[in-house]
């Protein structure tokens, strides 16, 4: 952490990570109380990845992810109470309680959903990246996925397509070492996911996902590469989840000693200790943020608790959008807020400006194209 970072950025890092941690802890408590039903996958331990990414990209860039998805929306500015209400299955949630924990979708902040199928979001990310290139925009798509998804066929198909079309797409593998209860190195011929970029002439990198500043620097660099038209990047962030795969997982496949050892590298106290030692921020700054975040999450829980359950009639709504039907932004529906809703070109005035089906064969690849492991 030798670089100089402005105080406001460091405090944003801390606040966002602490917000996710506190939110997830309260979600775990609510699940135990029976207020959250179904599957619930917590992001505790992995906060540095989502926060480092969000701070390194632009608000108009797209995010798409799997089902461990609460934290991503929170980093982008989603309403904390509405996210919690979605987990509670209440009508004031982002999807009126119909999506639940695994399907947080906030189009206002370009969070294009959590997906329950392992690897199912990866081809969709190629679609948004294709749209950005088709529209001649320099918007980036960040596609989060876990290590187990890297063994799915959709991963390989999409990397091939994205590389061939040089799509502005950052494939971000959060390697928390376990696909549910199976250790990644037990079932993978190449457990280092970033090395698989070689097969697609793609830039592949590795970063310490327990260090928010390292994630921030890596993603800034990768995002610049993608926007410049050089094609996608496969970035692997080593991380660790401190809880089970989901709330129903006792995590008996790993030892308590392993978990405690991993907690020694917790990104939140690590950032705090560095910032106070380097005199970037004072202990009082962090203490004040802790109190503010605790109050915010407490209010979110109260809001979700007090919100009504959706009517049974809601089963028959929101399946299709009819031509000309206005899409009501969730925060407008719930809070009456004025929302700047994203708009896009119609497509009629656009043309593909590159060769979709190249006539010439691919050039012979380099032995190790762009592989780099960050210190």
> Is 364 domain-assigned?
no
The residues with which 204 forms a beta bridge, in sequence order, are: 234
> Is 74 domain-assigned?
yes
CA separation for the pair 147, 176 (Å, rounded): 7
The DSSP secondary-structure symbol of 356 reads S
Q: Assign 145 to helix, strand or coil.
A: strand
Per-residue pLDDT tens over the stretch 34-59: 999 999 999 999 999 999 999 999 99
The two three-digit tokens of residue 107, written as one number: 């189009």
Q: What is the pLDDT of residue 354?
A: 76
Q: Residues 192-195: contacts with CB within 8 Å, 24+ apart?
A: 192/236, 193/147, 193/150, 193/234, 193/236, 194/234, 194/235, 194/236, 194/371, 194/373, 195/371
Note whether 65 and 115 are within 8 A (CB): yes
CATH number assigned to the domain comprising residue 79: 3.40.50.970
Residue owning tokens 């994205």: 162
The two three-digit tokens of residue 180, written as one number: 């549910």
Low-confidence ranges of the chain (pLDDT < 70): 1-2, 346-349, 363-373, 375
List strand residue ranges (DSSP E) for the chain, in order: 62-65, 111-114, 141-146, 169-175, 178-179, 182-183, 203-208, 233-238, 372-373
The two three-digit tokens of residue 102, written as one number: 């695994």
Q: What is the pLDDT of residue 368?
A: 55
Most distant CA pair in the chain: distance in Å?
Answer: 62
The DSSP secondary-structure symbol of 77 reads T
Q: Which helix (H) or strand (E) holds 263?
A: helix 256-263
> Is 326 domain-assigned?
no
Q: Which helix (H) or strand (E) holds 224?
A: helix 212-227
Q: What is the pLDDT of residue 361?
A: 72
Q: What is the pLDDT of residue 1?
A: 47
Q: Which residues of 288-320 are buried (b: 16+ CB within 10 A; e: fewer)?
A: ebeeebeeebeebbebbeebeebeeeeeeeeee
Q: What is the pLDDT of residue 20?
A: 98
Q: Is the pTM of this model over 0.85?
A: yes
Backbone angles phi, psi at 169, to 5 degrees: -135, 125
Distance of CA 69 to the CA centre of its chain: 6
Dihedral angle, C-alpha 251, 146, 369, 186, nearest 10 °: 30
Q: Count of domains in the chain?
A: 1
> Is 53 domain-assigned?
yes
> Is 239 domain-assigned?
yes
> Is 126 domain-assigned?
yes
Q: What is the pLDDT of residue 2?
A: 53
Q: Which ranges constitute the DSSP H helices of 282-347? A: 283-306, 330-335
- The residue range of the domain holding 17 is 7-307
> Is 1 domain-assigned?
no
> Is 203 domain-assigned?
yes
């Amino acid at each position: 952490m030798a670089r100089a970072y402005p105080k406001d950025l460091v405090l944003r890092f801390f606040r966002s990570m602490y917000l996710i941690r506190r939110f997830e802890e309260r979600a775990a408590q609510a699940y135990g109380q029976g207020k959250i039903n179904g599957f619930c996958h917590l992001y505790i331990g992995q906060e540095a990845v989502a926060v480092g990414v969000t701070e390194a990209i632009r608000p108009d860039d797209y995010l798409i992810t799997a089902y461990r998805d609460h934290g991503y929306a929170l980093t982008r500015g989603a309403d904390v109470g509405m996210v919690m209400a979605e987990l509670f299955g209440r009508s004031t949630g982002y999807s009126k309680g119909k999506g639940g924990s695994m399907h947080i979708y906030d189009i206002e902040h370009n969070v294009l959903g959590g997906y329950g199928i392992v690897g199912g979001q990866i081809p969709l990310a190629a679609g948004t990246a294709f749209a950005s290139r088709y529209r001649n925009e320099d918007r980036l798509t960040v596609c989060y996925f876990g290590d187990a998804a890297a063994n799915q066929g959709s991963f390989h198909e999409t990397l091939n397509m994205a590389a061939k079309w040089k799509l502005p797409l950052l494939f971000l593998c959060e390697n928390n070492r376990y696909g549910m209860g199976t250790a990644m190195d037990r079932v993978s011929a190449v457990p280092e996911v970033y090395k698989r970029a070689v097969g697609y002439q793609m830039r592949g990198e590795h970063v310490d996902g327990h260090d928010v500043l390292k994630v921030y620097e890596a993603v800034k660099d990768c995002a610049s590469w993608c926007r410049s038209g050089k094609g996608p990047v496969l970035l692997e962030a080593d991380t660790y989840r401190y809880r089970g795969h989901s709330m129903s997982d006792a995590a008996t496949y790993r030892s308590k000693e392993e978990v405690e050892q991993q907690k020694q590298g917790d990104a939140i106290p690590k950032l705090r200790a560095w910032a106070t030692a380097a005199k970037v921020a004072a202990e009082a700054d962090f203490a004040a943020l802790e109190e503010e975040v605790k109050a915010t999450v407490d209010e979110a829980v109260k809001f979700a608790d007090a919100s009504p359950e959706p009517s049974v009639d809601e089963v028959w709504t929101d399946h299709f959008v009819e031509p000309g039907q206005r899409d009501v932004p969730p925060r407008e529906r719930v809070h009456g807020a004025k929302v700047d809703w994203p708009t896009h070109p119609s497509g009629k005035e656009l043309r593909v400006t590159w060769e979709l089906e190249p006539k010439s064969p691919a050039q012979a690849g380099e032995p190790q194209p762009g592989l780099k492991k960050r210190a």
